[in-house]
Structure 1
Amino acid sequence: MSTKTLSKLDSPKNIRDSEKKLGDNDFIVSKTDTKGKITYCNEIFTKMAGYPASSLIGANHNLIRHPDMPRIAFKVAWDLIQSKQEFFGFVKNLCADGGYYWVFTYITADLDSRGNIISYTSVRRKPPRSAIDAIAPIYKLLLDAENKGGSDASGKILANFLAEKKTSYDEFVINLQKDIRTGN
């Protein structure tokens, strides 16, 4: 029996307000090629996303991109990892059944012996509820700006927000993960 590789077009259209939660000791691990196609996924990933591994392998990782996620979040991630820097962030992922789950993600480029990027590895874990509560309204603001003025508009809002907080993106995200109050 063959299982077809899925694409973003196969993502659920019936989005539900039903959250799945990672266990405190769970780690989702996946690898992608340089274009974002999944080449490896662990069992916890398949369980949380609700797809068999055979459907995920070869699919673009954006299959699980939740519509509540602003595109600027992924632009920040791609800009960092394509320049061989680490990315840390909070992501709301879409499940096969239309539900969702939140993760704190770490993505890094995998390099060959000459320093060329050959793939990316992502490890995700359960974020603190306080981080989700802080980041969700920011993502809504960024998404609203994108819907009105595109990625440039949300990029400006993100830059202004970080400047107002007198922090960098990395510091802001790491402090949320450490469960440090951000004044929101």
Structure 2
Amino acid sequence: MLDTHPRTAVRATRTAVRPTGKERTFAADELIVSKTDPRGVITYANDVFLRVGAYSLDEVIGQPHNLIRHPDMPRAVFQLLWDTLSDRRELFAYIQNLAADGASYWVLAHVTPSYGADGSVVGYHSNRRRPSRRAVDRIRPLYERLLAEERRHPNARAAVAASSELFGRLVAEQAASYEDLVWSVIGEEED
């Protein structure tokens, strides 16, 4: 789920994967798990991550986590993620990922900092579960509006700033924070 840290971006050494439009899912009782270093470079991926993402372990270890970034994910969500992690807080977020074969898959990600013995952040840990179709249908229009805003700006920095500002406004129309919005959608899943 982690997009590579914006201040220390690392480039993947693979050819860009193009989305095929095929959507994949995984079992409700499965968790996708990955760990990264402080820059967002993958240090661990479980078997579910590899199977759903259509990767081998050798293809992901040492690569930036944005290896699985779907082009239809707004950068503003990753800006929120890194801002939250920089404050040493956890984040729950709905994310659309891209597998090595071009298939996409949605997750509800829980991302947390990992701490060393001295209290410093030594990396990040993400557990992802399968969201309901209803949750994805609720989040997708919000993300589509953010993407449209990002595409209006040729400069990446301006695009993220404008999208982040819109993100804040749109979330405020529905909840006190993105976290509250996520929890309200999770609550709807349980109804």
Question: TM-score higher than 0.5 here?
Answer: yes
Residue 161 in structure 1 maps to residue 165 in structure 2? no
Query: Within 5 Å, which residues of 2 pair with 1:26-37?
Result: 26-37=30-41
Does the CA contact (< 8 Å) of 2:35 and 2:125 recur in 1?
yes
Amino acid at match of 1:88: F
3-state DSSP of counterpart to 2:188: coil
* 1:10 matches 2:26: no
Q: CA deviation at 1:177?
A: 2.1
**Does the CA contact (< 8 Å) of 1:38 and 1:60 recur in 2?**
yes
Alignment partner, residue 170 of structure 1: 179
Residues 8 and 62, structure 1, Cα contact 8 Å, conserved in 2: no
Which region of structure 1 is more displaced relative to structure 2, 56-65 or 161-170?
A: 161-170
2:60 alignment counterpart: 56
Residue 129 of structure 2: aligned partner:
125
Number of matched residues?
175
The amino acid that maps onto 2:164 is G
Gaps of 5+ in 1: 1-5
Q: C-alpha offsets along residues 48-95 of structure 1, whole Å, 9 cap, x if unaligned?
A: 000101110001000110000000100101111121100100000001
TM-score (norm 1): 0.90
The 8 Å contact of residues 8 and 60 in structure 1, kept in 2 or not, is answered as no
Give me the whole-angstrom Cα distance separating, in 2, the residues matched to 1:118 and 1:62.
Answer: 18
Once residues 117 and 15 of structure 2 are traced to their aligned partners in structure 1, the CA distance between those partners, rounded to angstroms, is 37
Q: Which amino acid aligns with 2:180?
A: E
SS class of match (2:149)? helix
SS of equivalent to 1:160: helix
Q: Percent identity?
A: 36
Cα separation, 1, equivalents of 2:13 and 2:143: 21
The residue identity in structure 1 corresponding to 2:141 is P
Moved more, 170-179 or 99-108: 170-179
Q: For residue 131 of structure 1, what is the amino acid of its counterpart?
A: A
Indicate the RMSD between aligned Cα atoms, in angstroms: 1.6
> Is the CA contact (8 Å cut-off) linking 1:72 and 1:151 kept in structure 2?
yes
Q: Which moved more, 1:110-119 or 1:97-106?
A: 110-119
